[in-house]
Structure 1
Amino acid sequence: MQTSETPAFGAPARLFHWLTALLLVGQYVIGWLMPHVNHDTRPVGLIGLHLSFGATIVLLVLVRLAWRFSHKPPAESSTLPRFMRLAASATHGLLYALLIALPLMGWANASARGWAVSLFHVIPLPALAATGSALGHTLGDVHKLTAWVLLGLIGLHVAAALFHQFVIRDGTLGRMLPGVRKTR
């Protein structure tokens, strides 16, 4: 139940948030389970699925950002210290940036390997790098490291939501989870 102090995000914003989270869980599981990518690896099975999930995440985040810029979010608690509001803004900005950059780096790496990238073998997507591109191969290495950075930011995001719910008790978690009450 929401209070007037903690207005909830609308259904589309919550849907974009949780679809992104679900795709990310799937993407990390696939990334850990798929075979190691080397020179002779082909983009089949889990690797092909990983590429499709990545492309889907980019498209979803772009739609999510378009929605975000065209729909004002509910007001945040003005009682939070300025450094917390700045930290939240910086974290959200980095999350959005990495949710776009990380899949694009993987896509460029796939293109450099000569792999065709598509959305679930239905919609072909353009190559982001020429086959054999040194930049594309380098972006593959950066992609692996950046995946860990994103995971850390996601952990920080979750920890902050729990901190708001159980320490500050301001109902912030309820903005994205309908039915979560402000703790007393």
Structure 2
Amino acid sequence: MTAQLHYGKPAKIFHWLIVGLLAVQYPIGWLMPDIHRGMSPGAAMTFHISIGIAILALTALRFLWRLTHPVAPESSLPVWQRLSSEAVHWLLYVLVLATTISGWLFASYRGWSVSFFYLVPLPMLASDNAAAGRAIDGLHQATEWALLIIIGIHIAAALAHIFIYRDRVMQRMLPG
């Protein structure tokens, strides 16, 4: 399988859909009410979980697309930039998957009956377990912060390529 030089339309669509959903997901997660013992998920939690499931599905599809449609590293970049770019991208995949799955596990450990946008019931990944729920909640919060930091590094690198290096590396992923 020969690596392409630029990302194709499906890769760009997956990327920008995930970016858009994450831009909605973080504010919903931060602004929804605190979760207390015995409460059931309301609309904010249902939308937060539903968007998380959509992000999980799109990330899995994006990952499969990347494996079957590889893109060659930008040859003009120094080795350290190519290696750090590859590491950041793989870390983004791992953290998105860990964050979304830990959120789903948290809802499962709470014993919640949740649905995908009130349309399709979601299977629970575990049974009701308050202690495990607290542990998973801590993991979910840690991964969401780690993901936000790596997203910030990714954006900073993209902006550096646009405004400092002016090397047109970003043209490979921009829409169009």
Q: In the alignment, which residue of structure 1 is the partner of 2:56?
A: 58
Instruction: Judge conservation of contact 1:55–1:119 (CA < 8 Å) in 2.
Output: yes
Structure 1, unpaired ranges of 5+: 1-6, 180-184
Q: Give the Cα separation in 2 of the matches to 1:137 and 1:123.
A: 26
Answering whether residue 81 of structure 2 is matched by residue 89 of structure 1, we say no
Distance 1:50 1:119 in 2: 10
Q: Please, which moves more after superposition, 132-141 or 35-44?
A: 132-141
Shift of 1:133: 5.3
**TM-score with structure 2 setting the length:** 0.91
CA distance in 1, matches of 2:62, 2:150: 18
- Aligned-residue identity in percent: 45
What pairs up with 1:76-155 in 2 under 5 angstroms? Answer: 76-132=73-129, 134-155=131-152
Residue 97 (structure 1) shift: 0.6
Q: Match of 2:105, SS?
A: helix
Give how far 1:23 is off. 0.5
Q: Answer yes or no: is the 8 Å Cα contact 2:74–2:82 preserved in 1.
A: no
Two-structure CA RMSD over aligned residues (Å): 1.7
- Return the TM-score normalized by structure 1: 0.88
Amino acid at match of 2:94: A
Segments of 4+ moved more than 2 angstroms: 133-137
Aligned residue number for residue 158 of structure 1: 155
Note the C-alpha offset of 1:136. Answer: 3.5
Q: How many residue pairs align between the two structures? A: 173
> Offset at 1:138?
0.7
**Does the 8 Å contact 2:18/2:59 carry over to 1?**
yes
| Larger RCO, structure (CA 8 Å, separation 6 or more) | 1
Unaligned runs of 5+ in 2: none
Hey, what's the Cα distance between the residues in 2 that align with 1:133 and 1:63?
32
TM superposition shift of 1:37: 1.1
Q: Which has the higher helix share?
A: 2
Counterpart of 2:129 in structure 1: which amino acid? G
State the alpha-carbon separation in 2 of the partners of residues 178 and 48 from structure 1.
30
13, 17, 34: which one pairs with 2:15? 17
